[in-house]
Amino acid sequence: MNLAPTGTLRAVRGAVVDVVFDEGDLPPVETALLVDDPDRPSPLLVEVHSHLNPTTVRCVAMGSTAGLARGTPVRATGAAMTIPVGPNVLGRLMDVSGTVDDGGPPLAEDTPRWPILRLPPPLAGRGARIELFETGIKVIDLLSPIAQGGKAAMFGGAGVGKTVLVLELIHAMASGYQGTSVFAGIGERSREGHELLLDMRQSGMIERTALLFGQMNEPPGARWRIALAALTVAEYFRDHQHQNVLLLMDNVFRFVQAGAEVSGLLGRLPSRVGYQPTLATEVAALQERITSLGGHSVTAIEAVYVPADDFTDPAVTTIATHLESQVMLSRAMAAEGMYPAVDPLASSSSLLDPTVVGQQHYTVAQQVREVIAHYRELQDIIALLGIEELGAQDRRVVGRARRLQRFLTQPFAVTEAFTGKPGRSVPLAETIAGCSAILSGTTDSWPEEAFFMAGTIDEVRERADASMKAGAAA
């Protein structure tokens, strides 16, 4: 049996190409083919997605098909698409085919390659112990804690701070855990990819990070497969190097969007809201591979764009079903300048349980939510009648809620160049202590502005003392 037959290009329709094999068996679905166009420096990578008839396969291209001609020879590889893995890829930026795009030398020829299509680990082999991943971001650690080996996502519309949060988490991983990071840029703008590469080099984080990009100007096939390629790189470090890995994906909605484009190009009938009929299967194939194995973990932090701020969108709800922690970003809070603009009531985590985080953490988190929820109930009354019309108890609740909201803001290291404020990373114990002090009424006499963009409660106390002394002197 001929395992690697040779065919010819029959038709090109945008990112979809048809290839005819007159002899031998047809290449299996989800295997890679190489189009040997003499006018290109390297063969074009395409992936088989359906058998049209006994001699023809339909494929999705991972690069531009401009200039391809009928009759161009095509080679079957007999295997799935592969990506370079291992220590050699750290500090490098690659595309979906494993080509280095950072202007540096090519990867060493002995760099191992793994297929990007892999089965998730069996349930019996997965880690059962839960360890929290402290991010140093107060509102996330308190209200939506993340587990090592778990999956967390930042949901939000355009311009509310998803990418900034992801970049801050890369910084936290590099400075606090000294771990390995893998960044998947799915449908990113070229400007964002360039800025990320420069920031990584300047901060010194690039040496422990592998960057993989399927950018917005690339065909949908490249944007669709880059997430699986990045996950494969992370799995290698987990399984062979026995390291804990932080996998960051920005933006998972673009992964779904690219899959919808591929589905349409292949002629499949759309499902709800125009999404692909295989939406749930494709998202599960990505998310179920993210887990702990053999005492080491892949922890995923995902940014998810919410189209038109509609959190009931099928893509958003499908992604959310696989997550332990959901961080919801609020446009209203961003408009008020409350950064990170995390909605403390909408955000959630399955780990926020006294048996996992401890009774004190759980109790403080619940009390914080209750106070902020009560404040929101009173906001309409305050807007109509003024805060003076509230009772003494309600006025106390409003004051503490406003201080909590401001205390849960903090400056980020990655935004220091724009804000002029050095970043703050706050240990979870300090966050709990600060919120407990506010809830107990210890800080009721402190000015609200002292809490805004601060780190620990001690820093807030220093600001409050300085403010009150300045007021007394005046």
Residue 234 CA to its chain's centroid (Å) = 14
For 320, what's the count of Cα atoms within 13 Å in the CB-facing half-sphere? 19
- Catalytic residue, chosen from 10, 162, 406, 424, is 162
Residue 219 CA to its chain's centroid (Å) = 21
- Catalytic residue, chosen from 129, 189, 201, 376, is 189
- Catalytic residue, chosen from 188, 218, 282, 324, is 188
| Residue where the block lists tokens 């305050």 | 382
Binning the chain into helix, strand and coil, the percentages to the nearest 5 are: 40, 20, 40
Residue 408 CA to its chain's centroid (Å) = 22
Taking the C-alpha atoms of 99, 102, 103 and 105 in order, what is their torsion angle to the nearest 10 degrees?
-60
Residue 370 CA to its chain's centroid (Å) = 29
Residue 162 among the catalytic residues: yes
Residue 70 among the catalytic residues: no
Residue 376 among the catalytic residues: no
C-alpha 328/C-alpha 314 separation (Å) is: 16
Question: What residues does 53 pair with on adjacent strands?
Answer: 56
Angle at the Cα of 134 (from 376 to 372), degrees rounded to 5?
10
Please classify residue 19 by burial: count the beta carbons closer than 10 Å to its beta carbon, then call 0-12 exposed, 13-18 middle and 19+ buried. buried
Q: Which two tokens stand for residue 153?
A: 């996502």
φ/ψ of 299, rounded to 5, equals -100, 125
Residue 332 CA to its chain's centroid (Å) = 22
Angle between helices 279-287 and 252-265 (to 10 degrees): 140
Note the helical H segments in 95-161.
138-143
Taking the C-alpha atoms of 301, 305, 311 and 315 in order, what is their torsion angle to the nearest 10 degrees?
-90
**Which is it for strands 93-94 and 209-214: parallel, antiparallel or unpaired?**
parallel
Contacts of 435 (CB under 8 A, 6+ apart): 142, 364, 367, 368, 404, 407
Known catalytic residues are 162, 188-189
